[in-house]
Amino acid sequence: MSNLTRRGMLAAGSAAGLGLARGGAVKLAPGKPALLGGTPLFARPSGSWPIFDEKEEKALAEVVRSGHWFRGNGDNVKRFEETYAQLAGTKHCLATSSGTAALQTSLAALGVGPGDEVLLAPYTFVATLNVILNMYALPVFVDSDIETAQIDARKIDAAITKNTVAMIPVHLAGNVADLDEIMKVAKARKIPVVEDTCQSHLSEWRGKKAGSYGATGCFSFQASKNLNCGEGGAIITNDDDLYEKCFAYHWNGTGQHNKNYVDVMHGTKFLMTEFQAAVLSTQLERLEKQTQHREQNARYLTSMLKEIPGIHPAAMYPGCTRNVYHGLIFRYNKEHFAGMPKEKFLKALGAEHVPAGDGYDALNKRRYLKNALNSRGYQRIYSKQRLAQLEERNQLPVNDRLCQEVVWVSPATFVSDRAHMEQIAEAILRIQKHAGEVARA
Ligand SMILES: Cc1ncc(COP(=O)(O)O)c(C=O)c1O
């Protein structure tokens, strides 16, 4: 470890709440924080992403030369689906053009539409909300759990009404939401679960893959994801009928897969191309090893961050048997940093070249949500009273606090080396040591 041992971190953590060494093993990197004119601690860029070599080039070239570029005449998509379903431990996998497409297809297959309510996690990417709005259903947020940054599953039951037709919990940042509680409520209230697993490829709950518990599990293979092909997505499910409906919907309702579904439902065009699938299959061969690497680095960083006063890495529920760390989330408490606002802390981290960002805005307060609910379509479907009630139901005090406090260390960081983890911890300690000055800078 560069200048800092874990034991030292403990000492640092208890040294007047400043992360300062009281002699002994911890030697903070000398010098001032970069924001105050010091040399950035993080000299090298973080792990480069995506990782590829001539295998991806060869896979792509083969598709080009075959002339079989779409799933109708090639077999790359199908092959990927078979492998991914096997990996997920589900009967089916349907590849889609994106994670958003996977979520929307799931909702369509479940028959979600105008008048319906869909529960969702509020601390997530906009797509989780957008797909509900795309179906002209009402998004009902369930507040977050401050300790894990996941949906607070204990609050789901109270959010269900006679109009609730589905719920979308999100497994955020490689971690897993409380699937015991989610599935218990879902079964008791007969509400299908669409697991938004877009950030949690290979994550596990009690030894089974996240995404395989609900009616469907939806994945994203967008460029930043642990498994990616630039853009792409997939749905996994054990439900034969739902699979057929998803297939039909994602191919303009054509029932290409099963003649019983011809002309049964309308749909859209969310197909994965043969190019995407070829790259994805190659990337998939790297996934397990990369994931183990991520886990080791992220666990190491977590162990160090935990010891810094005012830094609270997101906890895992006991049922989460594998967190694949699509980034690392921690809460920042400015009281331990001389009252320095999070924005300033992020600026100071940025100056040290630590790849960190401030995460998501409060989705329930986004202007576009208000605009959607005020749109002609929504106003026609829902009474003013119902929309006003929705606004009241969608107050999320815990999530508001979460959004204010969260710092997100970027996913690519964790495919880099162990020394980078130490540099991140050191950078935070250095900022903390000079917090008063940095805050005033
Ligand atoms: C939680 C979550 N849901 C949904 C999506 C949408 O996936 P895509 O970007 O592939 O459409 C993402 C992607 O960033 C995500 O992180």
How close is the Cα of 127 to the center of ligand 1, in Å? 6
Q: What is the pLDDT of residues 11-53, one digit of tens each?
A: 333 333 333 333 332 346 677 999 999 988 776 656 689 999 9
Q: Which atom of ligand 1 is nearest to the CA of 103?
A: 4
Q: What is the pLDDT of residues 299-322, one digit of tens each?
A: 999 999 999 999 999 999 999 999
222, 231, 270, 325: residue to mutate for ligand 1 pocket, most atoms within 8 A of CB: 222
Mean pLDDT of 52-70: 98
> Angle at CA 395, nearest 5°, toward 113 and 400?
115
Nearest to 99 by CA among 196, 29, 4: 196
Average pLDDT of every residue of the chain: 92
How close is the Cα of 301 to the center of ligand 1, in Å? 25
106, 198, 276, 324: residue to mutate for ligand 1 pocket, most atoms within 8 A of CB: 198
Q: What is the pLDDT of residues 320-350, one digit of tens each?
A: 999 999 999 999 999 999 999 999 999 999 9
100, 201, 228: residue to mutate for ligand 1 pocket, most atoms within 8 A of CB: 100
Q: What is the pLDDT of residues 394-431, one digit of tens each?
A: 999 999 999 999 999 999 999 988 988 998 999 999 99
User: Which residues does a 6 A CB cutoff place in the pocket of ligand 1?
Assistant: 98-100, 124-125, 127-128, 170, 196, 198-199, 220, 222, 233
Which pLDDT does position 29 carry in this prediction?
66
What global pTM score does this model have? Answer: 0.93
Mean pLDDT of 224-253: 97
- Residue 123: pLDDT band (50, 70, 90) is very high
Q: Which atom of ligand 1 is nearest to the CA of 100?
A: 11
Which pLDDT does position 46 carry in this prediction?
62
Write down all domains in the chain, each with its CATH number in brackets: 6-50+286-359+403-440 (3.90.1150.10), 54-282 (3.40.640.10)
Nearest to 4 by CA among 34, 43, 41, 39: 41
Per the CB < 8 A criterion, the answer to whether 216 and 237 are in contact is: yes
For β-strands 92-96 and 233-237, DSSP reports them as: antiparallel
How close is the Cα of 408 to the center of ligand 1, in Å? 16
Which pLDDT does position 253 carry in this prediction?
93
Q: Which atom of ligand 1 is nearest to the CA of 233?
A: 10
Q: What is the DSSP string of 351-377?
A: HTT--EE-----GGG-HHHHHHHTSHH
